[in-house]
Amino acid sequence: MISCHECDALHRKVPLARGAKAKCSRCGAFLYKSYPHGLDWPLALALGALGLFLVAHVFPFMSLKIEGRIEENLVASGVGAMWDAHMPELAVLVALTSIVFPLLNILGLLWLLLPRRMGFVAPGAVTVAKIMHALGPWSLLAVFMLGVLVAFVKLLDLATVIPGTSMFAFAALMLVATAANASFHPELIWPESEKDKSWPVADIGEHATAEQHGLLVCHLCHALTPADASGVHTRCHRCGSTLHSHRKHNSLTRTWALVIAAAILVIPANVYPVMTVIQFGQGEPSTIMSGVLLLIAQGMWGLAMIVFVASVVVPLMKLALLVYLLVSVQRRSAWRPADRTRLYRVTEVVGAWSMVDIFLVAILSAIVNLDALASIEPGIGASFFGAVVVITMFAALSFDPRLIWDHAMVRTSQGRPA
């Protein structure tokens, strides 16, 4: 059996055709899929990703040629530029999300897969899997690559831009690492056993949930384990990780606190400048909106739309959606739970893409560093904006979508439509 991580509905697992996926019949969330290549495919992809990572961080990433002068930079140059600008918080954020966390994810895959390929489970496998699970949403290779493309187009009016070997390696790394994660599943490390099929759940009705049947869900290997009399079970029977209560602890309180903090920080993030472009000793600070208007004035409508959506629309939309979900859960609304679950998925998917503005500032600050000819300096607004992005991502992770369905089930049991 398997429990939906978004609505807690119970499903009996059935064999799938090659490449097929199973979705929750209640809320439409992804449940599981077939993995026809076993360990070999994700292992090969992880090894390839590690090689591409090394290439991407050794060779020049991008070069800028202006007035006969050439400025080269590496992937990590943006981190150094932020640090030199006395913004260590942004330097750390860029380093973690574009370098450290992706590398840890690749190394984690290899740590789990190589020993399993040789017939045993790696030491510390549970700890490594937990780290990978926690860092997954923060590995932002695709968002960084979008920032690179935006910077590339933006710099074309300033000088000649020369892509380096590292840029192509990084683009390949993004694709290969994504494929490696998509082909990996915890059951490759902790296969199902007969015990997984032995829990005495006689009837799985249309609205049966793991909580109703006293089952706890392991977030690492997805196994179901009966809770003891106190409502918890110390260890997952399959992988041995610690299990906790049926719902995230203080989910609503923590999410409200994070949403309010992010809403407050949105104001300085849009009022203060995010960067200053200086050419031949002259320049003025640029806020997010003034930067969008400048791109429109220069005829870069497509680029302006990308920056506007990622930097303005997405953060505000995410805050509005989270507030709506919080209020609806607190009011015990049973209205259209499937649609509200889809709204929650939107907050999960789009939130990280706002980081494109932070990556853009880091890339431009690193490569446009030509002294009196031209330079770009990050502004304090970028720090506030980075805080908004991080806090809203934590808010989405703190919210438990199963609460939406808990109240829908209460209404249904009382004879009212859900």
The pLDDT of residue 104: 96
The pLDDT of residue 205: 62
- C-alpha–C-alpha distance, residues 65 and 82, integer Å: 22
- Cα-Cα-Cα-Cα torsion 401, 404, 410, 415, nearest 10 degrees, comes to -130
Over residues 215-220, the mean pLDDT reads 80
Give yes or no for a contact between 404 and 341, defined as CB atoms under 8 angstroms apart: yes
Which range, 21-25, 85-89, 211-215, 371-375, is most confident?
85-89
Over residues 17-41, the mean pLDDT reads 83
- CA–CA distance from 2 to each of 21, 63, 215, 217 (Å)? 14, 51, 10, 8
The pLDDT of residue 415: 46
Over residues 102-131, the mean pLDDT reads 91
pLDDT digits (tens, 9 = 90+) for 368-403: 876 656 678 889 999 999 999 999 999 999 998 888
Over residues 82-104, the mean pLDDT reads 94
CA 8 to chain centre: 22
The pLDDT of residue 201: 56
Give yes or no for a contact between 233 and 226, defined as CB atoms under 8 angstroms apart: yes
- C-alpha–C-alpha distance, residues 190 and 187, integer Å: 5
pLDDT for 416 beyond 50: no
Over residues 128-148, the mean pLDDT reads 92
Tokens 């991080």 belong to which residue?
390
CA 154 to chain centre: 26
- C-alpha–C-alpha distance, residues 406 and 408, integer Å: 5
Confidence class for position 417, pLDDT limits 50, 70, 90: very low
Q: Per residue in 351-377, is it b (16+ CB within 10 Å) or e — as a string?
A: bbbbbbbbbbbbbbbbbbbbeebbbbb
pLDDT for 212 beyond 60: yes
Count CB-CB contacts under 10 A for residue 410.
13
68 Ramachandran zone, left/alpha/beta (phi>0; psi -120 to 50): left
Tell me what the pLDDT averaged over the chain comes to.
85
pLDDT for 119 beyond 90: no
Q: Residue 337 burial (CB < 10 Å; 0-12/13-18/19+)?
A: buried
Count CB-CB contacts under 10 A for residue 56.
25
Give this prediction's pTM. Answer: 0.87
Domain regions of the chain by residue span:
2-413
